[in-house]
Amino acid sequence: MATCGSLCCDGDFDKDGVSTTRTIQSCLPLPLPVEILEDIVPKAKDFAILHGAGMRYRTNYDPDSLQLAPFFLLPSAFPRREFERVVKLQSIVNILMHRIAHDYQFLKDALEKTIKVDDFTRRLWDIYTTVREEGVSQLISLGMFRCDYFYSVPSQIAQQVEINTIASSFGALAARISVMHRYVLGELRKPELLGHLPENDALAGLCGGMIAAWDAYGCPKAVILFVVEDVTYNICDQRFHEYEIRRQRPDIHVIRRNLTQISQRGCLTSDKRLIIDGDEIAVVYFRAGYEPGQYHSEAEWEARLTVERSKAIKSPSIHYHLAGTKKVQQEIARPGVLNKFLSDSEAKLVSQLFTGLYTLDMSPEGDQAVQMAMENPERFVLKPQREGGGNNVYGQEIRTVLEKIKDSQEREAYILMDRIRPPIQQNYLIRAHEPVKLVEVVSELGIFGTILGTAKDIQFSKFAGHMLRTKLSSVNEGGVAAGLGALDSVFLFD
């Protein structure tokens, strides 16, 4: 059984004194005997696919079939103390993000330089200022956040990787995988371990947020709009959100449209109601719109502006989206900032979630960060203002990139962050059409939170479930869709 502390962690330190290879025990002694593995893998695959843990094929896309989503056979160990700590703090983190998003001056100061060099963030900013100048027609925002954490070996606490304020995904599939792991441990005749698996109501929690927003809009005929990609590979995760809304509230209808369709078929009434194909929209849930490639032309930007101008309650509204940029997250971590938005005791607790974040502005402070990163690139991650994985820069490549941009304002499009060193454990990776593999992995915990309210009046701020994504310890990023990471669930240990 996994335990934490010196008994089970074997510490290895590389030359810079950065702990890199501490390992923790998996929930069961591994490898499993071959005959047990041969029995359990098909059972787990069947359970996963029969419960909808699937995705559409990326190559040879086929609307008539699904492929098993990649997942790990066993739940991965995560320290209970840190899991409980971040769960408890989520409602405060929601409020922090809500207040930041409503502080125009803070966003302006934080993003002023970024928007000069990052076109995508500037376009979002332009929408924000346009709507602000016209007068915001919907004061209520719905936050459906996901805060991602690694447990850090050197500091022995969970540290925040980022806060997602748009398209926080995998709430549905994460909850399915939690249930699958219960089944797997049962089939392995280890029912005594079930107490280590926390319940996961992410899907119900997130959909509960949308339903509360729909109620707040107050129009029984209005529908919820999911803004989706042109092709949705993560279809199960999205569809389960629709089905859960219908389960909780049979009277609420969901429609799905991409930004191009909204540009062609959406309009505003004179009193700013958003109408799409004859339906009035009460709530807009963005599962797309977070990356430049999703805006093919001016038409999609117009669509985003139309939505933003409308009375519909948006998740996220444009200021929430901006509050979720990497640059704002770096500015939030500056000493003293949290105290502007939270009580002293709350600020202290939240500050403990952050690792080092550094500006790369053209300033002495930025120069110092550049120098630090050039000297020790392995200790940092260089991040542009992008979401969705695969955009960050690691290791020696940080040097190469900084070498090119260090003397130009281009560097202001990035932030620098301490690299977090999570513990390594073993688990079995299961991917469609591939043999099961015992691999060394690290796990990233996502904590969902929902919040609804206006600048002054918050109706609720809640923890809304969790998810675990696990990736090979040898890769920098492990996007599930990209095939380097896989779905997992949490095995808590003391």
Angle of the 119-134 helix axis to the 298-309 helix axis, nearest 10: 40
The torsion defined by the Cα of 126, 127, 129 and 133, in degrees rounded to 10, comes to: 130
Q: How far apart are CA 157 and CA 404, in angstroms?
A: 35
H or E, element range at 163 = strand 157-164
Catalytic residue among 309, 411, 421, 469: 469
Nearer to Mg ion, 162 or 237 (CB): 162
Least Å distance, CB 55 to ligand ADP, is 18
Catalytic residue among 45, 113, 146, 421: 146
Has 387 been annotated as catalytic? yes
Residues in the chain: 494
Q: Considering CB distances under 5 to 8 angstroms, the limit depending on partner class, which of ligand ADP, Mg ion, none binds residue 391? A: ligand ADP
Interface stretch with Mg ion, choices 38-46, 162-170, 272-280, 337-345 (CB under 5 A): 162-170
Catalytic residue among 91, 141, 152, 169: 169
Nearer to ligand ADP, 216 or 484 (CB): 484
Least Å distance, CB 473 to ligand ADP, is 11
Would the annotation count 419 as a binding residue? yes
Would the annotation count 25 as a binding residue? no
Would the annotation count 383 as a binding residue? yes
Q: How far apart are CA 405 and CA 196, in angstroms?
A: 48
Q: Contact positions toward ligand ADP, by CB under 6 A? A: 148, 161-162, 381, 383, 386-389, 391-392, 417-420, 444, 477-478
Has 326 been annotated as catalytic? yes
Would the annotation count 356 as a binding residue? no
Amino acid at 401: V
Nearer to ligand ADP, 139 or 157 (CB): 157
Q: Which residues 6+ apart lie within 8 Å of 400 measured at CB? A: none
HEC readout, 267-322? EECCCCCEEECCEEEEEEEECCCCCHHHCCCHHHHHHHHHHHHCCCEEECCHHHHH
Nearer to ligand ADP, 152 or 315 (CB): 152
Nearer to ligand ADP, 367 or 378 (CB): 378
Q: Which residues 6+ apart lie within 8 Å of 472 measured at CB? A: 429, 439, 440, 441, 478, 484, 485
Q: How far apart are CA 160 and CA 150, in angstroms?
A: 7
Residues taking part in catalysis? 146, 162, 164, 169, 326, 383, 387-388, 469
Q: Write out the residues near Mg ion by the rule CB under 5 A.
A: 162
- What residues are designated binding site for Mg(2+)? 162, 164, 387
- What residues are designated binding site for ATP? 162, 326, 383-392, 394, 417-420, 444, 471, 477
- What residues are designated binding site? 146, 162, 164, 238, 326, 383-392, 394, 417-420, 444, 469, 471, 477
